[in-house]
Structure 1
Amino acid sequence: MIVSGLLLVVQAGAGHAAAASDDLRAIVQAFYALHVLGAAAWIGGLWPLLNVKVKKADVAGGTLTISHGAISKIHMPAMTMTFPVTDPTHLQMLHKGDPVQIEVANQDGTVRVIDFKMQH
């Protein structure tokens, strides 16, 4: 369990947390580390991390259309969905069929893609 927690915390060194300005980076990374540990402590808390296929990346509209297979842990069938993206800056690098891992969050009643990572 300790190793799992350390592996989660290490993720704070990548992605949006690591891209923060120099004077805020340590604070943002610390909060991200606490966030992932808190989510992992809640049973099922990390289900918003999904491996999906890109159907369409709409940079101008700030949305990402994805498809995924069935997620048996939460009894969700396979489907295609479109989500608004918190920061659409990097959507231009995505193409139809690309495998990505997305992180979604409910922000003020709207489920949004808050981060994504290319899968190789």
Structure 2
Amino acid sequence: MKLSAPIPLFRVFDYELAKAFYCHWLGFTIDWEHRFSPTAPRYLQISRDAAVFHLTEHYGDCTPGSKVFLHIDDVEALHAELSTRPNPNMNPGIEHAPWNAKTLEVTDPFGNRICFNQSLE
């Protein structure tokens, strides 16, 4: 038996806002989308490198305001990249965490948070 990496689900309320945040600002790509009808809520998968998230507009799929801890090998490179694409609602900084890591935390327009963590060990 072998477990695979989990896929976090984030509740989103506006497709265009989610796309602007995750794709245009954070650099994720939409892998696929699903809707039961043209007016139904969307469910989509986004990815960047090995990081995969599911974003859902469906009521009851998950709780808004969740947080994901995501390992990264170069938090300063991510910080520099995000600085080239200004976001009027986010200006994250790099912090030194007590667990011997550098972190950068962002919050999407729906209150979901991603903590990018670079271990210094």
TM class by shorter-chain length? under 0.3
Query: Larger relative CO (CA 8 A, sep 6+): 1 or 2?
Result: 2
Provide the TM-score with structure 1 as the length reference. Answer: 0.26
> Structure 1 or 2: larger helix share?
1
Provide the TM-score with structure 2 as the length reference. Answer: 0.26
